[in-house]
Chains A and B, each alone.
Chain A
Amino acid sequence: MAGFSVTPGRPILLNCPACGGSITLRAAGHSVTAVCAYCGSLLDVNRPELRIIEQSHEAARRPLITIGLRARFEDQPWEVIGYQEKSIGGLATEVPLMLQTFLSQKDSWQEYLLFNPYHGFRFLSQADGHWTLHRVVKGAKHLPKNQIFQRFSAGMATVDYVLGEFYWRVKKGDRAQISDSIAPPYVLSVEKTGDEINTAIGTYLAATEVAAAFGMDRNRLPKTRGVAPHQPSPFAARLPGILRIALAALAIATAIQLLQAFGSDGKVIHTESFDIATETPELTHVSPPFGVAGGSANLCLASQVNLDNDWAELEASLVNEATGETRTATLGMEYYSGIEDDERWSEGNPRASACFPAVSQGMYRLVLEADGGAFHTGQPGSRFFMVEVKRDVPIWSNWTALLLALLPYPGYLWLRHRGFESARWSGAE
């Protein structure tokens, strides 16, 4: 072999026996096949005397990542030494390529062979902008623990193009039966060629990670399209964290709520009931003064009225006897019913409630201004109002509001996750 490099570790330079071009051998001792970058001839570099396996006069393609570049993966440097283009799902190679593109959907991808003299080989593949680092494994030792792999796809893969050097005999048109199982971010590939079976474990890499590993600009790498079989769902990753936060917030709110509920007595401290004649209504009713005890807490009114296909309203003012401070709430009640198509219907509620927050202790009066449909008709009759005044009533509305506020985001993530998974599996067989 002429032109040996004597320094261990340095690439060995050879001359292509077909075109005389210079060939750089980066994994001497391992490499068996090499492709001349100038004439594309396939060479046997297994033995010192180079042999042409297949002569060619085709100018080499330029892969996205140039052969000879180094990247850092698994905390080790790796050198790109080989490049393959492969496809799966095509028809038999006898069918002309033109027809193949018409007749069948062909999934194609690119595969870079990476070499490190201490750690062997890795494969870096790229399909639709999605990157995967594969490692051939011997035995189960390097398989990720506690993962359940689901069968995803299987098919016959064909080598469509080769460049660089390889530690096995490779050539255009080589075929292998491959089957993929997934447990995102991992893909387990079993490749069968003749009697040989190789198992490789692949890990999904974001394009930004690949760009960083090569120290290149992300924009030089292709945009990702669609969902890769083993691409981790970005929503699934976020969902448990979000759910945990939401559940924690809900648990804290529930605890506070329950503590308050147990601490509140919700006792009726005063009841006011009065009749108003409909013909000559006295619409204002003032209660006798009543005492409110126990520091600052809420004060709630619950009203009720006898209604039949009518409405009524109480404008309730709570007046502090000592300060004259007044707070007002409106209690609206209505009740309609009838029979339509032999069906009884009813709507509205003859009851209403309202709360005043943080009412301090003291003497109070209720001033109630009534109104209602019946008071405007002049028909004889009466409306009987009853108002209960309760002190320190547990309020659930804040808790319910929190629940409603917390649910949508995890729900949204869950729906997006479902969408992502269905996009993933739409590509499966």
Chain B
Amino acid sequence: MREFACPACGAPGTFQSGISVYAVCAYCRSMVLRRDAGVEAFGKMAVLPPDMSPLQIGSRGVFEGLSFALVGRHKIGWSDGTWNEWFMATDDGRKGWLAEAQGFFAVCFELPWVSDGRTAVNRDLGHWKPVPGEQVNVGLRLFTVVDLKEAMVLGGEGELPAVTPCGKKYRVIDLETSDGGFASIEPAGQQARRVYLGRYTEWGELHIENPRSLEGW
């Protein structure tokens, strides 16, 4: 854990995860970039629209025996809706995400960065034109393409492992297995910007402590 004072407003903040690269100041919404020597502010984050998420920064849980804490969130939008991606700080240092969309939860982990996307995905990402129903190997498993989306970050809060400018569109390819496996590929030119691998889960399986309190529920 590393503490800092927001360069814009002076409010205290922390980096809980060693892999976070920036944080959104909880008070003035300044984006605070993590530097070796200190921190640097670089603009303001948009206010997140209200939602009914039962999660919040500070919620903790256990997934398949792995303890995690939610330390940051991106709200992503696409033409037909929005979803939340909660950044999970875990003991094993992997980049874990708890995605929350259309009433479903999925836990996935970013595959370690590979310079050539083919290491994780058996396609030439520079030329691949995925179609729904197409079968693709991601990691060691066979997935089916279910969805292609143009997504963009609408806003964020807490600390996050990558700087994603708000409003910049990127492609997302969602894949599933017949037994509830989930993968997501974000191609960027010849490379995969990010590849996530995980599975669908549900509220009861996440053992959430300190959930967001929802009045009336």
Contact = CB atoms under 8 A, between A and B. Distances in A.
15 contacts: A1-B49, A9-B213, A9-B215, A9-B217, A10-B216, A29-B49, A30-B51, A118-B54, A118-B203, A118-B217, A120-B102, A139-B200, A168-B80, A168-B102, A196-B147
A77 B80 contact: no
Contact of A141 (B52, B102, B132, B180): B180
Interface string A123-139: 00000000000000011
B49 A48 contact: yes
A119 B199 CA distance: 16
Q: Which of B52, B53, B212 has the most CB of A within 10 A?
A: B52
A12 B148 CA distance: 30
- The list of the 5 closest CB pairs from A to B, nearest first, reads A120-B103, A29-B51, A139-B180, A9-B214, A9-B215
B146 A197 contact: yes
Chain A interface bracket (under 10, 10 to 19, 20 to 34, 35 or more): 35 or more
Given A139-B176, A196-B147, 19 more contacts: A8-B50, A8-B215, A9-B216, A12-B50, A28-B52, A29-B52, A29-B53, A29-B82, A30-B81, A32-B81, A46-B82, A117-B53, A117-B54, A119-B103, A138-B176, A138-B182, A167-B81, A167-B103, A196-B132
B181 interface: yes
B69 to A, nearest CB: 19
Contact of A46 (B81, B104, B146, B216): B81
A380 B65 CA distance: 107
Contact of B180 (A10, A115, A140): A140
A4 interface: yes
Contacts, number: 102
Interface string A1-34: 1001101111010000000000000111110100
B202 interface: yes
A323 B118 CA distance: 109
A167 B179 CA distance: 24
Contacts of A117: 52-54, 214, 217
Contacts of B216: 9-10
A138 B214 CA distance: 26
Contacts of A26: 52
Contacts of A12: 50
Contact of A138 (B53, B104, B147): B104
B77 interface: yes
Interface string B184-213: 000000000000000110110000000011
B115 interface: no
Interface string A73-103: 0000100000000000000000000000000
Nearest to A116: B217
Interface string B35-55: 000000000000001111110
A68 to B, nearest CB: 11
A69 to B, nearest CB: 13
A26 B50 CA distance: 11
B200 A138 contact: yes
A272 B104 CA distance: 91
A195 interface: yes
B212 to A, nearest CB: 6
A145 to B, nearest CB: 14
A8 B49 contact: no
A192 B147 CA distance: 13
A114 to B, nearest CB: 10
A47 B54 contact: no
Contacts of B81: 30, 32, 46, 167-168
A202 B57 CA distance: 35
Given A9-B215, A10-B216, A168-B81, A27 B52 contact: yes
Interface string A165-196: 00111000000000000000000000000011
A198 B15 CA distance: 40
A120 B54 CA distance: 11
Given A28-B49, A29-B53, A138-B104, A169 B80 contact: yes
Contacts of A141: 179-180, 200
B177 interface: yes
A139 B143 CA distance: 12
B74 to A, nearest CB: 13
A181 B59 CA distance: 40
Nearest to A168: B80
Nearest to A120: B103
B132 A28 contact: no
Contacts of B181: 139
